[in-house]
Amino acid sequence: MPATRTARPERSTMVSTEIPPVPLTIEGYSVLHQMMRFRWSAWRLLGPAQKAKIIHEASGLLAKMEQNPSGQSALYSLIGHKGDLMFVHFRQSFDELNQVELQMARLRLSDYLEPTTSYLSMIELGLYESTIKVYNELAERGIEAHSEEWNRAIKDTMERQREAMRPRLFPELPKHRYLCFYPMDRRRGEDKNWYTVSIEERARQMNEHGLVGRRYAGEVKQIITGSIGFDDWEWGVDLFANDPLVFKKLIYEMRFDQVSAVYALFGTFYIGLRCGSGELGKLLSGQVPRG
């Protein structure tokens, strides 16, 4: 009796039509915020000549950082009890940010600085509309998600977007007089969870949210940084303006958007006045910086 052959099940040719939930993002500068408390009591014990040497050394380094062609730094005088100074650094990589930290630690001025906190992130642009468009196009062509062909198409899309958005990914650090910085999360609790909402609905809500920000385009400059996996919150927000009142109006109006009213969680807010390298001496003598 001839042996019977067991038929092998045919390999399914069906392709999943469900698009991935994660929006594509493109990244630019690595960013470090350093919040410091100044040891005023120790500083007052120094003589004028000692102070002058320390200020000259620190001002020289800060001046170079302000003009760095591959990512600038800026100093802000903080208002309130959360610290005295905040340094903001834009650089090409985390390696360069670490080098900045080490350069500052070697300054004699660092003997009078006590870190209160810091925040590490990268400038990030979320590509919700482009993501949905390319995902749907690939699904319609029958290309399996995360296959080699899929990954090539995604890479091409990212490269085009990265080139088109390069000025927003690698901007000059704005020179506005005031800075408002705060970290934030999207709610992911049992009742409301941003990460279980469909990508289409998230895109709709983010577009609605962005419309408010665009109305303030002439008054405030906004830079969003991503920090998932880098720091304790998911995003950092930097707002730059010459009138601090715009921070209150913009953030208050945005809180009525669905994405903020339902899903947003906010961290600590910091408000600072820009202090140029040439004004460090005035600042440490108790004068308000002029920007």
User: What DSSP string runs through the chain?
Assistant: -PPPPPPPPPPP-----PPPSPPPEEEEEEEEEEEEEE-HHHHTTS-HHHHHHHHHHHHHHHHHHHT-TT--EEEEEE-STT-SEEEEEEESSHHHHHHHHHHHHTSGGGGGEEEEEEEEEEEEEE-HHHHHHHHHHHHHTTPPTTSHHHHHHHHHHHHHHHHHTHHHHSPPPP--SEEEEEEEEE-BSSS-BGGGS-HHHHHHHHHHHHHHHHHTTTTEEEEEEE-TTTSSSSEEEEEEESSTHHHHHHHHHHTTSHHHHHHEEE---EEEEEE-GGGHHHHHTTPPP--
Catalytic residue among 182, 216, 263, 270: 182
Residue 254 region by backbone torsions, left for phi larger than 0, else alpha for psi between -120 and 50, else beta: alpha
- Among 218, 263, 261, which residue's Cα sits nearest to residue 240? 218
Separation of alpha carbons 177 and 276, rounded Å:
10
Q: From CA 98, how far away is CA 110, in angstroms rounded?
A: 15
288 vs 272: CA distance, rounded Å: 11
- The structure tokens listed for 169 are 């990914």
Q: Is 182 part of the annotated catalytic residue set?
A: yes
Which residues are annotated as catalytic?
A: 182
